[in-house]
Structure 1
């Protein structure tokens, strides 16, 4: 499976930025600051690019809006380490991105404390660079508006640099602070972070990178990383994406699907809810009915999923398979109100697996249902013409195993 690993990182970073709800591009701005400072230090090009990627991935352990707010409200927060450790765990489980695990793990640790950790000199400097770039972006936030970057930054930035320089030797490496002071004197250092330009500037750094041939297992590992981030938004959705993917693969195999198509289906199912990173957890965790405004926020997640996956897999059908999981066969679904003839069977299968797993899982507004009650609900939807009859019957024939997968994530021994 040939994809641009670099562009995949950039596209999925855009999904992580949804966690801020009202603030986007944080990951890419951190990446650009880190790249610029590394460049100022005359690091090798490959190392500078690794700092670009590390900056985009540094918050892969953040899924909850409340956590994001704490991280952006102050320069230091006592609870910051939790997302660093989650991010390290996610990256270690993803072979194509493992090399960024150490930087992610230590990117909120003070410079004076890094010396006591089992790290090389290069690892300490790289982790501290991401910390510096991350905190610099927090201070820049005051100058970011819906329309763009405030021009005031071009004459008021010395106060930001002076504040960070005051932390030299304790929070930040003196070497990195010196490079920041030199780089910050150039207008382009700040203007590259103007919201209309951020994506374009990142793309310019990536345009000469060679696509990487990934095995299906490596692509699945990347999808799994982001699925875990999505599912960690709420205790009620833990393992949801993973188990929908297991159900989808199991049922597709029962239908006779093999090879690359089977892997693509699993990837699409793993990422079907990636657009939900934009939905605040207070809506996901709400025990009662949601308002019309909250429903609108929830309903856009499948569209967001499609837009993200089109960037990651531009020449594959994964985006449509994943983004159609809330369509139904009679045209009353979303986001496109498609009818049966326009919905491929792969999307119909993910829809069935998604409903079955969600009904088999505890949610804030109800406990999980037993397999009989779940099938009764599917039969109601089937009677209304919303679901694919063949796929519902396929699930019915394997309902015991499917329920085991939905609830426990494993088949009987």
Structure 2
């Protein structure tokens, strides 16, 4: 089986960008949590492997959040009812992803009070790691309102004082003591500015060896993020996974195999990752979109393209995933590419996406019948939008594809 060199540091950093899109107006929350958690771990003289691991946990700690309304609750208060819901989801997602499964327990408990954690039957190491994520996460909630205005230089002593009051209650005393020691300097807070944050993550990554991942591990990573995307709405449940299955089968029917076939499936899994920026109010809207809402929706494929470029530098995956709303006559989005610029794999994913979406219930319409869907696809062929050969190939075994779309 062919392997691809994937820089796991850059991959997690890039995929964290997609998670941060959920916040819309609170970008880089995951990165700030990660950098603060790592700084505290370093101050406590944790081994480098532990410091790096907690950095990745920090970047992925909110992988159970895909809805903007839930993200706002997370970033507006220290504690709230239902806080564990996204922790449980995130732990579930990570436990099914072998390359990141070792992070699942600390993600599961990253909103659990220290006094309750002491009664929780988990390993002492994981207990402290989970609480470190909680501490860094809540510090970021307290600092975020003051970052862009520069007022953090005035407000940070108050944040430190508040965290000290919660020692032994919300947070482990040894973690609070370490935080107080490193946060009582301006540099700690100034490092949270966007440009410095990104610079520090690149610097850490430059000293991190690349990890060689096989196709199964890459697909698990892709499936993890497809689950986050599809959880934005009950109407998109398993959409990305089903698009990937349909695209894979179509590619096989065209004789595509080997490593290229696996890339088609991964592109199908990740084709909507940019949609995390789109509010569920738009996705779940039962009526027509306003021009402003449509513009927000249209940018998701570009965000997909740019995010995946950072993960799969030497692959066609970003193109095949990011071009899924392009058309053969060049009136699609976001690049308005036409026939000559669209690989067969792009055309396959486009057809798979439309086919599955039509087979799935949406807030503005019911599930479409197979006959209706085939007629719809053919009309798009006649309009010059879809590839006639791809649609014809799907129609040859339409019932199989319909089962892949809905079963």
TM-score (norm 2): 0.98
CA contact (8 A) 2:22 2:68 kept: yes
The structural deviation recorded for 1:114 is 0.7
* Cα deviations by residue, 1:100-120 (Å, 9 ceiling, x for unpaired): 101100000000001221211
| Map of 1:108 onto structure 2 | 111
* Cα deviations by residue, 1:130-157 (Å, 9 ceiling, x for unpaired): 0000000000111122xxxx44323431
| Map of 2:132 onto structure 1 | 129
SS in 1 for 2:162: helix
Distance in 1 (CA, whole Å) between partners of 2:185 and 2:315 is 41
Q: Flag structure 1 segments of 5+ consecutive residues without an equivalent.
A: 409-413
1:30 is aligned to 2:33: yes
Alignment of 1:183-202 (within 5 A): 183-202=182-201
| Map of 2:80 onto structure 1 | 77
| Match of residue 68, structure 1, among 71, 82, 87 | 71
Distance in 2 (CA, whole Å) between partners of 1:173 and 1:81 is 19
CA contact (8 A) 2:244 2:266 kept: yes
Distance in 2 (CA, whole Å) between partners of 1:308 and 1:327 is 18
Distance in 1 (CA, whole Å) between partners of 2:101 and 2:185 is 34
The structural deviation recorded for 1:187 is 2.3
SS in 2 for 1:213: strand
1:333 is aligned to 2:332: yes
| Match of residue 122, structure 2, among 101, 119, 136 | 119
| Match of residue 19, structure 2, among 16, 27, 32 | 16
1:168 is aligned to 2:183: no
| Map of 2:356 onto structure 1 | 357
| Map of 1:58 onto structure 2 | 61
| Map of 1:348 onto structure 2 | 347
Distance in 1 (CA, whole Å) between partners of 2:211 and 2:380 is 43
CA contact (8 A) 2:30 2:59 kept: yes
| Map of 1:178 onto structure 2 | 177
Distance in 2 (CA, whole Å) between partners of 1:49 and 1:43 is 10
The structural deviation recorded for 1:188 is 2.2
The structural deviation recorded for 1:2 is 1.2
| Map of 1:387 onto structure 2 | 386
1:263 is aligned to 2:266: no
- The list of structure 1 runs, each at least 4 consecutive aligned residues, that deviate by more than 4 angstroms after superposition, is none
* Cα deviations by residue, 1:166-205 (Å, 9 ceiling, x for unpaired): 1110100000000000010232211111022221111111
Distance in 2 (CA, whole Å) between partners of 1:227 and 1:144 is 31
| Map of 2:142 onto structure 1 | 139
Distance in 2 (CA, whole Å) between partners of 1:345 and 1:137 is 45
SS in 2 for 1:369: coil
| Map of 1:313 onto structure 2 | 312
CA contact (8 A) 2:240 2:272 kept: yes
TM-score (norm 1): 0.97
Q: Flag structure 2 segments of 5+ consecutive residues without an equivalent.
A: none
The structural deviation recorded for 1:255 is 1.4
Which stretch of the first structure deviates more once superposed, 201-210 or 264-273? 201-210
Distance in 2 (CA, whole Å) between partners of 1:176 and 1:23 is 25
Distance in 2 (CA, whole Å) between partners of 1:390 and 1:197 is 50
Distance in 1 (CA, whole Å) between partners of 2:267 and 2:121 is 38
Distance in 1 (CA, whole Å) between partners of 2:47 and 2:129 is 13
Distance in 2 (CA, whole Å) between partners of 1:209 and 1:188 is 24
**Structural RMSD (CA):** 0.8
The structural deviation recorded for 1:124 is 0.5
Alignment of 1:215-226 (within 5 A): 215-226=214-225
CA contact (8 A) 2:146 2:155 kept: no
CA contact (8 A) 2:359 2:406 kept: yes
| Match of residue 44, structure 1, among 10, 29, 47 | 47
CA contact (8 A) 2:37 2:54 kept: yes
Distance in 1 (CA, whole Å) between partners of 2:14 and 2:187 is 23
Which stretch of the first structure deviates more once superposed, 184-193 or 38-47? 184-193
